[in-house]
């Protein structure tokens, strides 16, 4: 599982950083010790070694943190009728990942989702070049801590549901791996994931995957193919 691999790497990097700090702290201690040796005898009772050790502690932790890439996994998704939610939650459980629900301020009702009704909200938005679905929260809490973002959405008329557009365009995915997935009645993922990658403009986007409703086993197998 990638999580373990990442943890091992993190542990290794922290170890390496700690070793570097010990070596440099050792050098510094020697230097300080030789500087401390010069003053008159009256100063000898001072705990000369304690101060440099404390001074090294904080920078050591900072150095280790800087050297460690974010290794958290987030499953972010929008779901109108629950199908994408089912796949997203299965992924999150399998990976022990956090979830973030992309939530429109004005939620989509059943009538809103009526794709056979030309007057429904989605039908109207489909033809609106200026559509913008305002979200309750664009950037997940602690977004910096995630190195991998699974991004789930339903297919609407062959494209990614535009309910996620403001999430995609409103976040900086630099340094993150983004793994798109979608659900649909029958349509393939098509170019929807590439379109989202272009909209984001940042992040390392991997090839996406389409699932049918309730295809939890397929999602589990897919995670295995991805190396998770």
Ligand X SMILES: Cc1cc2nc3c(=O)[nH]c(=O)nc-3n(C[C@H](O)[C@H](O)[C@H](O)COP(=O)(O)O)c2cc1C
* Site membership for ligand X, residue 213 (CB under 6 A): yes
User: Total residues at the site for ligand X (CB under 6 A)?
Assistant: 21
Site for ligand X in 173-192 (CB under 6 A): 183-187
Q: Which is nearer to ligand X, 52 or 214 (CB)?
A: 214
Q: Which is nearer to ligand X, 83 or 148 (CB)?
A: 83
Least Å from the CB of residue 85 to ligand X? 6
Site for ligand X in 128-167 (CB under 6 A): 154-158
CA–CA gap between residue 164 and residue 152 (Å, rounded): 9
Q: Which is nearer to ligand X, 52 or 190 (CB)?
A: 190
CB 108: neighbour CB atoms within 10 A? 19
Exposed/middle/buried for 38, CB within 10 Å: 0-12, 13-18, 19+? Answer: exposed
Binding string, residues 53-92; x marks residues near ligand X by CB under 6 A: --------------------------xxxxxxx-------
Least Å from the CB of residue 93 to ligand X? 17
Contact 88, 149 (CB under 8 A): no
Angle between helices 83-95 and 216-226 (to 10 degrees): 50
Please identify which residue in 100, 102, 122, 203 interacts with ligand X, judged by CB under 6 A.
122
For residue 226, the surrounding DSSP H or E stretch is helix 216-226
CA–CA gap between residue 27 and residue 20 (Å, rounded): 11
Please identify which residue in 9, 115, 202, 224 interacts with ligand X, judged by CB under 6 A.
115
Token readout for 50 is 């304690």
CA–CA gap between residue 131 and residue 166 (Å, rounded): 10
Q: Which residues in this chain contact ligand X in the complex, by CB under 6 A?
A: 79-85, 113, 115, 122, 154-158, 183-187, 213
């Amino acid at each position: 599982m990638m999580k373990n691999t990442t943890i091992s790497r993190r542990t290794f990097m922290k170890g390496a950083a700690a070793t570097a700090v010990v070596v440099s702290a050792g050098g510094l201690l020697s230097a300080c010790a030789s500087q401390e040796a010069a003053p008159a005898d009256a100063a000898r009772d001072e705990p000369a070694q304690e101060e440099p050790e404390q001074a090294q502690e904080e920078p050591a932790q900072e150095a280790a943190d800087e050297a460690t890439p974010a290794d958290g996994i987030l499953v972010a998704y929008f779901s109108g009728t629950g199908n994408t939610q089912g796949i997203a939650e299965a992924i999150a459980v399998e990976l022990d990942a956090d979830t973030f629900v992309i939530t429109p301020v004005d939620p989509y009702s059943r009538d809103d989702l009526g794709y056979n009704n030309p007057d429904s909200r989605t039908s109207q938005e489909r033809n609106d070049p200026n559509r913008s679905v305002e979200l309750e929260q664009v950037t997940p809490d602690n977004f910096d801590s995630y190195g991998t973002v699974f991004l789930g959405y339903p297919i609407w008329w062959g494209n990614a549901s535009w309910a996620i557009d403001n999430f995609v365009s409103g976040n900086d995915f630099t340094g993150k791996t983004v793994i798109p997935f979608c659900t649909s009645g029958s349509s393939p993922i098509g170019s929807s994931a590439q379109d989202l990658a272009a909209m984001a403009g940042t992040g390392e986007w991997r090839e996406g995957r389409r699932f049918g409703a309730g295809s939890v086993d397929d999602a589990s197998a897919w995670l295995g193919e991805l190396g998770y």
